[in-house]
Amino acid sequence: MDTQFLIESFADFARNKNIDRPTMIRILEDVFRTMIRKKYGYDENFDIVINADKGDLEIWRFREIVDDNSEDIWDYDKISLSEARKIESDFEIGEEVAEEISLVDFGRRAVMTARQTLMQKIKDLEKDILFQKYKDLVEEVITGEVYQILSREVLLIDNDGNELILPKNEQIPKDRFRKGDTIRAVVHRVEMANGNPRIILSRTSPKFLERLFESEVPEVYDGLITIKNVVREPGERAKVSVESYDDRIDPVGACVGMKGSRIHAIVRELQNENIDVINFTDNLELYISRSLSPAKITSMKIDKENGRVSVYLKPDQVSLAIGKGGQNIKLASRLVGMEIDVFRELAAFEEEDVDLDEFGDEIESWVIDELKRIGLDTAKSVLGLSKEELVRRTDLEDETIDDVIGILSQEFE
C-alpha cells in the first residue's frame, strides 16, 4: 500500500464523515507519530509534513553529527560522522542531518495497522461529535422518523441517519406509532454505552410541554411570558403556571389563544392531554387556590414548616378538587410544592349526626324503639321529618313527639 493511497483513502473517509481539515491532519500526525515511537522508541526529533489533498506524506528525522568517539553518539538526536557520510559524503561534525523516512521502512504490517487505526479514530471521533451534538440539545425538541418498533422502545433516525431511542416509559400511553411516522420529542438524556452514544428521547417530560408552548406561543418564545412550572400526568392532565412581566399581557389568555387556537395544537400533539394554564403569583394562598381549579376553596390553613396545606371546600366542590383518579390534587401539590389535604366543610345543619341510643337518659327506651321501628335511628333522621309525619307513621302521641323534637334539637343548637 503506497503513501498516497493511504492518505487519500483516509481523507475521503474523513470528509464523508464531515470531519474538518485541522482535525483530520491532527489524527494523521498522531497515528504516524505512534508508528515512529514503536519503531524508534521516541519521536522528538521527527517532523511530519502532510498534504491531505494531494495525498503527500513526508517524515523527516533530524540528528546532529558528532565524532565517532564522542560520548553523545548514543543519544537519539545524534549521529556519528561515519554514518552521516554514508548519507552525504561532505558532512562535517556539528552539522545537522535531515533524513527522510519512507513509509515502506516501517513494514507492511505497520502500515496496515496504521490504516485501521486511522479509520477507527475517525469512527470514534464521529461518535464523540454525535455525543457532544446531542448533549448540547438536551431538553430541546427534535423530529425523527420511526424506522423500527420494538416491545420496549421505538427506534427513530434523524436527518443525518443517526439512531434515536424513545423508550416505552417515555411515550405517552395513548401514543401509537407506525414505521415511517414523523414524531416530535424532547432530548431527555445522552449517555455512552460500550463506546456508542445512546440518545434517549421523551414525550412525557414536562420540558416537552414547555418547549411546545414556546413553539406555539410567540410571547413565551420572546420571553414576554415566563413558564414558572410544569407538572404532568402524561396523556391525561397537566398544569402550567405562567407569569407576564408586562401588565398589558394576560399570560393565561395569550397561552390559550383566541378560542383556544394555540393550546389546541399542543393538546393534539399530547394525545388530548387536558392542560390547565394558571396565572402564577407570589401570594401562596391565592396560588394554591388557583392550582386546585376548577374547584372553589372556602378556606385553608398553611403549615409551611411541614410543607402541608389543609383546604376546606363545600361538599359539591370536593370531587372537583380531587379530580379523576386524584389527578387534580396530585398535580396541584406538585405545582405548588406542598402536600395538599382536602376536607369537606360542614354547615351548621350538616354537623355530625348522633345515634338515638345516645339519648337514652332523656328519652324512654320504648319511644326510641318505636322510632327505630320506622327506620329512624339517628337524631337528624328524626328531625328531618315533620311532626305531622312522625305522628302519622308512629304510635306516639303529639306531646311525646314534641318532647323528642325538643330534646334532639337542643343537641344541634
- 57 found inside a domain: yes
pTM over 0.85: no
Task: Please tell me whether residues 84 and 14 are part of one structural domain.
Answer: yes
pLDDT of residue 348: 44
Instruction: Report DSSP letters for 228-282, one per residue.
Output: EEEEEETTTEEEEEEEESSTT--HHHHHH-GGGHHHHHHHHHTTS-EEEEEE--S
Residues 178-204: tens digit of each pLDDT: 999 999 999 999 999 888 899 999 999
Range with lowest mean pLDDT among 153-162, 209-218, 346-355, 403-412: 346-355
Q: Of 202, 229, 249, which residue constitutes the final position of a domain? A: 202
Same domain, yes or no, for 75 and 172?
no
Distance CA 87, CA 64 (A): 13
pLDDT for 385 beyond 60:
yes
pLDDT digits (tens, 9 = 90+) for 236-274: 999 999 999 888 899 999 999 888 889 999 999 999 999
User: What is the mean pLDDT of the segment spanning 212-226?
Assistant: 94
Whether 292 is in a domain gets the answer yes
* Range 216-222 contact pairs with CB under 8 angstroms and sequence separation of 24 or more: 216/257, 216/262, 216/263, 216/265, 216/266, 217/254, 217/255, 217/257, 217/262, 219/244, 219/249, 219/251, 219/254, 219/255, 220/254, 220/255
What CATH number has the domain bearing residue 188?
Answer: 2.40.50.140
150 and 30 in one domain?
no
Condensed to tens digits (0 to 9), the pLDDT of residues 321-380 reads 988 888 999 999 999 999 998 888 755 444 567 888 888 888 888 888 888 887 788 888
| pLDDT of residue 52 exceeding 70 | no
Asked if the model's pLDDT at residue 149 lies above 60, the reply is yes
Q: What's phi and psi for 159, nearest 5 deg?
A: -65, -20
By residue range, what is the domain housing residue 369? 350-411
Shared domain check, 328 and 303: yes
pLDDT per residue over 110-138, tens digit each? 878 887 888 788 788 888 889 999 999 99
What CATH number has the domain bearing residue 286?
A: 3.30.300.20
Q: Which pLDDT band, with edges at 50, 70 and 90, does 150 fall under?
A: very high
Cell digits for 28? 494523521
Claim to verify: residue 15 and residue 78 sit in the same structural domain: yes
Same domain, 316 and 285: yes
What is the per-residue pLDDT for 349? 43
Polymer length in residues for the chain: 413
Interhelix angle 21-40/108-135, nearest 10 degrees: 140
Among residues 322, 345, 368, which one ends one of the domains?
A: 345
77 in a domain, yes or no? yes
Q: What is the mean pLDDT of residues 403-408?
A: 89
List alpha helices for 88-185, DSSP H.
108-135
Would the pLDDT of 63 be above 80? yes
**pLDDT > 90: what percent of the chain?**
41
Tell me: pLDDT of 387 over 60. yes
Average pLDDT, the chain: 87
Number of domains in the chain: 4
Residues 127 and 8 grouped into a single domain: yes
User: Strand pairing of 163-167 and 153-157?
Assistant: antiparallel
Domain co-membership, 127 together with 55: yes
Instruction: For residues 316 and 378, state if they share a domain.
Output: no
Give the max Cα distance, the chain.
147
In a domain, 245, yes or no: no
Cell digits of residue 267 = 393538546
Q: What are phi and psi of 223, to 5 degrees?
A: 85, 5
End-of-domain residue from the set 202, 229, 250: 202
Distance CA 70, CA 241 (A): 83
